[in-house]
Amino acid sequence: SGKIKRTKVEDLALIDRTWDAVMGLSDGEKDRLLTGTVAGNDAHIVFYTQDGQALRIKSTTVNPQQTGSASGVAGIKLRKDDHLLGATVVPNGQDDKNWQVIVISENGYVHRFPLAGIAVKGRAAMGVRCLRTSNASGKLAAVAIGLEKNNVDVYLTDGRRQRIPIASVAPASRDIQGDRLVRDSKKVPVAQAVVL
């Protein structure tokens, strides 16, 4: 539902082999947890949606909540038929000149642009468009953020992986379709991407 929750690590019950609630879901069966990660006070969070919207916020705009059942606060505002796919953390968001945003569509179209192309906004905004979707590209599948020296592992829904060096993706503007760089993704959609 586009919500975000922040909890101090010391407030989590980190006991081996036990389940503990970390976030209450507000919309029953329609809502689910998409991402969980560690982020410091200097981190930025980038949300991304199926229709190609991206929103960047400072982690400190989310006040920590102690209880596991707390459902968090509004993170990104979603259009009626859009769906949140996930969020990624930029460990030191203030130093955005070296960070690159890698955008990958369902059908394997890829492009990259500097993180500065997504200005920091407040919570509950819609953000900016980071992919020009088309019938050829399909919807947005994944967003990864890394340095030019890093690689991105792209995973297809059938479990296969393709590694793409970020430096091999030509720098481009934010709102484009990109180039088809992921093999076989026309038959098997992209599931996710991870920066190494």
Tens digits of residue pLDDT in 82-100: 999 999 999 887 777 889 9
As a dihedral over the C-alpha atoms of residue 21, residue 23, residue 26, residue 27, rounded to 10 degrees, the angle is -80
Q: Phi and psi for 10 in degrees, rounded to 5?
A: -70, -15
Is 50 strand, coil or helix?
Answer: coil
- Residue 27: predicted pLDDT: 67
- Residue 18: predicted pLDDT: 80
Higher pLDDT, 144 or 14: 144
Q: Please state the pTM of the whole predicted model.
A: 0.91
Residue range 56-78: average pLDDT?
A: 91
Q: Render pLDDT for 128-168 as a digit per residue (tens, 0 to 9).
A: 999 999 999 999 999 999 999 999 999 999 999 999 999 99
Cβ contact 113:42 at 8 Å: no
Contacting residues for 125 by C-beta, under 8 A, at least 6 apart: 55, 76, 77
Q: What percent of the chain has pLDDT over 70?
A: 97
